[in-house]
Amino acid sequence: IIVVSRLDSKLHTPMYFFLTNLSFLDLAFTTSIVPQLLWNLRGPAKTIASTGCILQLYVSLSLSSTECVLLTIMAFGRYVVVC
């Protein structure tokens, strides 16, 4: 979605702008959570440093709240178009 919306000039509309940002958020969310999960599943020590935990929590919460705001804006935009 990111590449296609950037390459095609007809897709430079607000809907595709929000879809691109949503794709970026999903990509960032996945790359911030999955590596630590895989690291913990791989080894016998299932621990994480407190600073790493706090950083991962902060990144996770900020990305999740940004995604919720973005979805709310998209839903409101769709409501305005329909009504």
| Number of domains forming the structure of the chain | 1
The predicted pLDDT at position 72 comes to 93
Is 1 inside any structural domain? no
Is 9 inside any structural domain? no
Is 37 inside any structural domain? yes
What residues make up the domain containing 49?
17-82
Is 21 inside any structural domain? yes
Is 40 inside any structural domain? yes
Q: What is the pTM of this model?
A: 0.74
Is 11 inside any structural domain? no
Start-to-end CA span in the chain (Å):
27
- Per-residue pLDDT tens, the chain, 83 aa: give them: 888 888 887 877 888 888 888 999 989 888 888 887 788 777 777 777 788 888 888 988 999 899 999 999 989 988 988 98
Structure tokens at 11: 């897709």
- Cα separation of 62 and 70, whole Å? 12
Is 4 inside any structural domain? no
Is 5 inside any structural domain? no
Check if the beta carbon of residue 25 is closer than 8 Å to that of residue 17.
no
